Amino acid sequence: MKQDESFKLADYQPETHALSLGYDPALSQGAVKPPAFLTSTFQFASAEDGKRFFELAYGLKEREQGEDPGLIYSRINNPNLQIFEERISAWDQTEKGSIFSSGMAAISTTFLSLLSPGDCLITTSPIYGGTHFLFENILPKFGITVHTVSAGDNTLDEIKTILPTIDQKSLKAFYIETPANPSNALVDIEEISNLAKELSEQRSSEDAKIITIVDNTFLGPVFQRPVKHGADLIIYSATKFIGGHSDIIAGVVTGTTVLIDSINVYRTIMGTMATPFTGWLLLRSLETLSVRMRRQAKSAKKLAKMLSEHPKVRQVNYPDLLEEGCKQFYTYKKQCSGPGSLIAFEIDGGEEEAFKVLNSFKICRLAVSLGGTESLVEHPMSMTHSDVPPELLEKYGVKPGVIRMSVGIEHESDIKKDLLQALDTI
């Protein structure tokens, strides 16, 4: 795709952008794929250029129309990172993206840049165990208060119940993980973002607006576009589906230019950016993101249906199994274009039986993480969410007998066979 003056972002689909956007082969000896720019620093053409690049990098001067920030140092900017950020933000249909050394680096840097002592945020639960630890054990040390509501049908009602108990000027953000990890509970993004806008409009012009942040890791930009439903920032553990091969650790945030620029100041100073080679690997992975996720979801739909009919399975939580009539069913139909490939299912019995099943898999790997090409199974209560109090997990339906499965790209019949033989051991 030649990107001349007639090139328009809206004219092409994300799958096409993932192969071409932001890169001119003529600048790299005609190489069809971007080279890996494994350098710590970049040479300036002149001292004047060096001065100007730093003025832009640190916000000392405004960027002129059409001006690109020059390359300085790979902690600040790097071609591999910039190309990936442009492509992932195009996929999310946001203004700008920022890549980090891990999903937790993305989340931590975002909140430390947006919140100050005395501020508070409201989060849904359950959420990833690392995020839960940040909210419960680290942010309070900085004088930041976190209020928790349940993900699911009653999220909005619970928020409205606790709002009168909160100093309205201190509320700075809503944080939504949807589908929730590991329960797959869905939250209506539009409802929450509309509430954020409504509350923001009641504030004076000096008070910052309340922003809506969505962790979109489970469905990725392929099956859910939070910005279409009012989200201001979208966060991913790019280790998962975006990376997709279980060989890198990375995180991504996309959103408005104003918010991303403020986050990037903290990324630069805290050093939480990804490495150039990680950026190069993510460019490789982004090209097949749609193909992989759609293949995985196709298999997961059939496996979830099979599990829901199995006599030794008590319950299966998977978006495609939501029944018409419940609020989450309509949320799913409104904001998701597919169910993804994460299945949470509860077997008969508790931890002992769950461990017996987990220890019996032959094809599926017993390991944490998700979104890779291989199928992964794990026990949330004792592994990924072990820092969350058991009684709190049970409140959200994450019980000792729950297994989380990330469906890979192995042949569907082989995964099914593996599931059935593992369940036969109890």
Domain boundaries defined on the chain: 79-286, 290-423
The third-level CATH classification (topology) of the domain covering 79-286 is Aspartate Aminotransferase; domain 2 (3.40.640)
3-class state of residue 100 by DSSP: strand
CB 36 within 8 A of CB 277: yes
How many residues in total does the chain contain?
426
Task: Report the share of the chain in percent with pLDDT over 70.
Answer: 97
357, 366, 372, 367: which is closest to 419 by C-alpha?
A: 357
Residue 3 has pLDDT above 60, yes or no: no
CA distances from 389 to 136, 265, 395 (A): 11, 35, 10
Q: Where are the alpha helices (DSSP H) in 21-59?
A: 47-57
Q: What is the mean pLDDT of residues 96-109?
A: 98
Task: State the chain's mean pLDDT as an integer.
Answer: 94
Dump pLDDT digits (tens) for 31-90: 999 999 999 999 999 999 999 999 988 888 888 887 888 999 999 999 999 999 999 999
Distance in angstroms (rounded) separating the CA atoms of residues 285 and 292: 10
Residue 194 has pLDDT above 90, yes or no: yes
pLDDT of residue 5: 47
pLDDT of residue 60: 87
- pTM for the model: 0.94
| Architecture of the domain delimited by 290-423 | Alpha-Beta Complex (3.90)
